[in-house]
Amino acid sequence: MSKKTIVVCDHIHQSGLDILANDPEVELINAADEPKDKLIEEIIPLADVAITRSSTDVDDAFLASAKKITAIVRAGVGVDNVNIPGASKQGIVVMNVPTANTIAAVELTMAHMLSCVRQFPYAHNNLKLDRVWRRQDWYGTELKDKKLGIIGFGNIGSRVGKRAKAFEMDVVAYDPYIDPSKATDLDIGYTKNFDDILACDIITIHTPKTEETIGMIGKDEIAKMKDGVILINCARGGLYDEDALLEGLRSGKIAMAGIDVFSKEPATDHPLLDLNNVTVTPHLGANTKESQRNIAIQAAENAIAAAKGIAYPNALNLPIKENELPDFVRPYLELVQKMGHLCAQVTKSAVKSIKVTAKGPVADYLASMQTFATVGVLTESLADQVNYVNAEFVAKERGIELSNEVLPNTSGFTNKIAIKLTTADTTISIAGTVFDDTVQRIIEIDDYMLEVEPKGTMIFFRNTDTPGVIGDVGHILAENGLNISDFRLGRDNKQQALAVVRVDGQVSKKVLDALASLDACISVSYATL
């Protein structure tokens, strides 16, 4: 067997290099110190697999030279500098290393929390830099008996919770996508009411960066918080609205903030740096020796597995090769993933089961449909932590039942696919088909027959089927500056109706509350695709 060439584009811990160098089936090229133009033009064409970090952009130029590459391993969590769609088109699997820095991020969160309550950085500077000994200036508070609100209770958030309990804090978690027992089994409170989090003494956020979570703590949320609240963000920049955060810190509404991440980095001239009630670090979440060693080892092992074609751990894409998939199947895979994502956004609750059914020739690819549907559902809560390779394992880990079934095709459509999502709170079923080879449409939502293009921002308004409802909905949307781009209505035999309203713009809580206040409203939600 000929050796596979693995190119390391950026610096990684020596432990990872040793693993690569000691594998007899691998030819290692350590190009971390090579000029980028030489790397792209001369070295990348030799690679079967590449390991990158933030210093090397996997852009069009990189991919154009990647003639032999079958996989790219991003040694870390973030893949902002990787052109994943471009890699997919070339049949290149993109993988990351999402859990190697978990403990580092957890401990940094605790460090910021302690720094905020005791103002260690400022006391340190006052003594060491100013040579002033004034103990009376540095009265802090204790973590003991303080209420900590944790937003996002995954690998990092749950471990922060455990450590906070050791400090005898009163901890409450908010994460609508987990089973409450994940928190309660740790003697940690669980809430579905976000206002419970806003009432805490200290709030820390540990969610992926998605459309739902960007700016989820803004001016309105801060206004509801306790005077003197402490906010921590060691997750992703932009989860806190930085303008609102700045205003809250200046006014004193927020006593202290511990920030490791910013919307735009490097943030060397950010106005938050001018305040004396902020502790800041330059995105150090993964910066421990242990974390760097773990990242390098996992990256090396993943690269070797990929080079040998054994496995693609933590793959973030599924390369689709033209000769391996019939043309008519691709739009159905995309559609079922969209339907899964839509279901998750509408329900916003812990997932119990995902069932996919298919009718017609597309049923021959039902296993792939199940994978894409599962990724669609779980992406809402896990973002890039779930992928086409690990979806089944992630679902199993969360106790989610996956099933699929081929049904006789009596639908009148050549092909029809459907997904049924059962959560802790409700069940939703969505069916769809593809017209003219590429035109994707949702054709059923629960028992309502309607035709909807799965695109853009959609409001789902279920109501009693009484006169004037459509006008009331339109009036509320117009009052809030939302233009209706499409309006589809389905009715059942129980004098109820479901309207799917596509709008231009963002749907706010104010809009949802106004729609929910209508007498005819049974339920209202929205999703964005």
* Residues with active-site annotation: 236, 265, 283
Q: In what order do the strands lie in the sheet with 49-52?
A: 26-30, 4-8, 49-52, 71-74, 93-96
- In SS3 terms, 135-193 reads as HHHCCCCCCCCCEEEEECCCHHHHHHHHHHHHCCCEEEEECCCCCCHHHHCCCCEEECC
Alpha-carbon span 380 to 98, nearest angstrom: 17
String of DSSP letters for 459-503: EEEEEE--TTHHHHHHHHHHHTTPEEEEEEEEE-TTSEEEEEEEE
Element (H, E) at 417: strand 416-423
Q: Is 108 within 8 Å of 234 (Cβ atoms)?
A: yes
String of DSSP letters for 320-358: --GGGS-TTTHHHHHHHHHHHHHHHHHH-S-EEEEEEEE
Tokens encoding 492: 């059942």
Q: Is 151 within 8 Å of 203 (Cβ atoms)?
A: yes
Name which of 20, 84, 8 is nearest 51 in CA terms: 8
Element (H, E) at 38: helix 36-38
Strand partners, 52: 74
The CA distances from residue 328 to 108, 115, 350, 432, in Å, are 49, 57, 33, 14
Radius of gyration of the chain (CA): 25
String of DSSP letters for 364-398: GGHHHHHHHHHHHHHHHHHGGG--TTTHHHHHHHT
Residue 211: CB atoms within 10 Å: 12
Cis peptide preceding 266, ω within 30 of 0: yes
Q: Is 62 within 8 Å of 44 (Cβ atoms)?
A: yes
Angle between helical axes of 469-479 and 509-516 (0-180°, round to 10)? 160
Tokens encoding 461: 């308004």
Q: Residue type for 157, please?
A: G
Alpha-carbon span 280 to 260, nearest angstrom: 6
Residue 436 makes CB contacts below 8 A (sequence gap 6+) with: none
Alpha-carbon span 352 to 101, nearest angstrom: 29
